[in-house]
Amino acid sequence: GENVEQHPSTLSVQEGDSAVIKCTYSDSASNYFPWYKQELGKRPQLIIDIRSNVGEKKDQRIAVTLNKTAKHFSLHITETQPEDSAVYFCAASTDSWGKLQFGAGTQVVVTP
């Protein structure tokens, strides 16, 4: 089955700097790659996603890139703010609608 690895497990950045989280996946049939943000004690919420027919997608300060050949995808957060502090999860799916395989998560801490 699919295996998703996520790095780093923790990331500390100064406010205003950029943050990058990287994920690799094992199943070349995976075609949907969402990123979720989870604040402490809250539910995961989708922040951005990308499908396999697209190499890059951007939404304001966040962007995701996908390299199908290398089977890895990354989340980029620019101009980080304290409210970006949370756990971020990448995921991959071969079914598009669900059956998500999640990475272990990255704790991002943005210090003022």
Residues forming contacts to another protein in the complex (CB under 8 A) are 1, 4, 6, 9, 32, 34, 42-46, 49, 51, 89, 93, 96-105
Nearer to another protein, 73 or 89 (CB): 89
Of the pair 100, 108, the CB lying nearest another protein is at 100
Distant-in-sequence, close-in-space partners of 86: CB < 8 Å, separation ≥ 6: 37, 38, 39, 40, 108
Q: Which two tokens stand for residue 5?
A: 């690895």
What 3-state DSSP class applies to 112?
A: coil
Looking at beta carbons only, is 24 or 93 nearer to another protein?
93
Distance CA 47, CA 111 (A): 21
DSSP, res 82: G
Q: How far is the CB of 36 from another protein (least distance, A)?
A: 8
Minimum CB separation from another protein for residue 17, in Å? 25
Whether the Cβ atoms of residue 76 and residue 63 lie closer than 8 Å to each other: yes
Minimum CB distance to another protein, residue 24 (Å): 14
Q: At its nearest, how many Å lie between another protein and the CB of residue 87?
A: 9
Q: How many angstroms separate the first and last alpha carbons of the chain?
A: 41
46 or 111: CB nearest another protein: 46
